Structure 1
Amino acid sequence: MLHAAGRLPPPPITATNCIDEKFRFLHDQKTLDPYLIAVGSSVTWRNLNFAALDSSTRQRLRPVNAAPCYLDIEETGQLTRFMVDRYDNVRTVLTVVAMRDFQQCTGDRFFSRGLLSGYLDRTVPSALIYLRNFRPKNFLKDVLHIRGMRDGSDIQNPLVMDPYGSGPLRIAEPDPRHDVVIDPQCFRQLADLAGWLHHRHIRMVVVTMPDMPAWIDRYDPGAVRSNAWRSQLRYLADQGAFKLLDGNRYRHDPRFVDPAHFHWSETAGFTRWLSQKGAFAPTALAMHE
Structure 2
Amino acid sequence: MNGQLILRRHAVAGNIGQRTDRPHNRAPLYLIAFVAGSIIAVSLLWGLIIALSAFDRLPSPPVSGTWCIDSRFAWMKRTPQWKDARIIAVGSSVTWRNLDFEVTSAETKKQGVFNFAPCFLTMNQTRYLTEYILGRAAAARTVLTVLAPRDFEGCSRNRTAFFEPSIADRYIDSAGFGWWLYLRNLRLNDIFNYALNVHERRAILKFDPFGSGPLIGTTLDTGRAFKPEPGCYFELTELAKSLDAKGVQLIVATFPVMRAWSDRHDARGITQTNFKLDIENALSGTKAILVDGVTGWHVPDAAFVDPAHLQWPETADFTRFVWRSALQLGATLSPIGPKNSDSPHRIGSNNDRWGHLVNYRPATEDGPTRVTASLLRSRPHKWISMDIGASPEELIINTPFVDAVSQNTPGYSEAFAAGVPRGYSWCAGSYKPPNRTAPPAGFTSVTAWGAVYPKLGAPVLPSIEGAIEIANAKTYVYLKTQSRWVAVQDQAHLRMAGSHFIADFATQPGIQMKLGHKPDNVVAIGSPPPGYNSHFWPYGRGEFDADSVDGVYVQMDMRVTDPTMTYVANVGADWWRDPIAEYVEGFANNPGAGMSNWIELSTQWKTLRFYSWDNSRLQANPPPSLLERAVATTTTRRLNDSSAYCRSQSTK
Normalized against structure 1, the TM-score is what? Answer: 0.91
Note the C-alpha offset of 1:55. 1.9
| Residue 221 in structure 1 maps to residue 267 in structure 2 | yes
State the match for 1:251 in structure 2. 298
Aligned mates of 2:129, 2:268 — CA distance in 1: 35
For 1:20-39, list aligned pairs within 5 A: 20-32=70-82, 33-39=84-90
* Paired residue secondary structure (1:175): coil
State the match for 1:265 in structure 2. 313
Structure 1 gap ranges (5+): 153-157
Note the C-alpha offset of 1:123. 7.1
Q: Which runs of 4+ in 1 moved over 4 A?
A: none
Q: Deviations over 1:163-211 (max 9, x none)?
A: 1111111102211111111110011111011111111100111111111
Aligned mates of 2:199, 2:163 — CA distance in 1: 24
| Residue 48 in structure 1 maps to residue 103 in structure 2 | no
Deviates more, 1:234-243 or 1:168-177: 234-243
Q: Which has the higher helix share?
A: 1
State the match for 2:113 in structure 1. 63
Note the C-alpha offset of 1:13. 1.1
Distance 1:102 1:146, change over 3 A: same
State the match for 2:148 in structure 1. 98
Q: Deviations over 1:184-239 (max 9, x none)?
A: 00111110111111111001111111111111111111312211110111223332
Residue type of the alignment partner of 1:159: L
Tell whether the 8 Å contact from 2:98 to 2:310 is kept in structure 1 after alignment. yes
Aligned mates of 2:80, 2:201 — CA distance in 1: 23
Tell whether the 8 Å contact from 1:149 to 1:160 is kept in structure 2 after alignment. no
Tell whether the 8 Å contact from 1:236 to 1:242 is kept in structure 2 after alignment. no
158, 162, 165: which one pairs with 1:110?
162
Q: Deviations over 1:94-114 (max 9, x none)?
A: 111100110121262211111
Note the C-alpha offset of 1:125. 5.8
Tell whether the 8 Å contact from 1:13 to 1:115 is kept in structure 2 after alignment. yes
Aligned mates of 1:17, 1:126 — CA distance in 2: 14
Note the C-alpha offset of 1:244. 0.6
Q: Deviations over 1:236-261 (max 9, x none)?
A: 33322511111120234361111110
Aligned mates of 1:82, 1:64 — CA distance in 2: 15
Residue type of the alignment partner of 2:102: A
* Paired residue secondary structure (1:204): strand
Tell whether the 8 Å contact from 1:179 to 1:219 is kept in structure 2 after alignment. yes
Q: How many residues align?
A: 279
For 1:171-186, list aligned pairs within 5 A: 171-186=217-232
Tell whether the 8 Å contact from 2:194 to 2:201 is kept in structure 1 after alignment. no
User: Percent of counterpart pairs with the same letter?
Assistant: 35
Normalized against structure 2, the TM-score is what? Answer: 0.41
Aligned mates of 1:206, 1:134 — CA distance in 2: 36
Aligned mates of 1:113, 1:8 — CA distance in 2: 23
State the match for 2:239 in structure 1. 193
State the match for 2:12 in structure 1. none
For 1:194-213, list aligned pairs within 5 A: 194-213=240-259
Residue type of the alignment partner of 2:138: D
Note the C-alpha offset of 1:146. 2.7
Residue type of the alignment partner of 1:72: T
State the match for 2:323 in structure 1. 275
For 1:67-86, list aligned pairs within 5 A: 67-86=117-136
Aligned mates of 1:6, 1:54 — CA distance in 2: 36
Residue type of the alignment partner of 2:316: A
Aligned mates of 2:305, 2:286 — CA distance in 1: 33
Deviates more, 1:39-48 or 1:249-258: 249-258
Aligned mates of 1:37, 1:49 — CA distance in 2: 13
Aligned mates of 1:166, 1:43 — CA distance in 2: 10
166, 173, 177: which one pairs with 1:121?
173
Tell whether the 8 Å contact from 2:237 to 2:283 is kept in structure 1 after alignment. no
**Greater RCO structure (CA 8 Å; 6+ sep):** 1
Deviates more, 1:20-29 or 1:235-244: 235-244
Q: CA RMSD in A?
A: 2.1
- When Rg is computed on C-alpha atoms for both structures, the one with the higher figure is 2
Tell whether the 8 Å contact from 1:73 to 1:186 is kept in structure 2 after alignment. yes
Deviates more, 1:251-260 or 1:47-56: 251-260
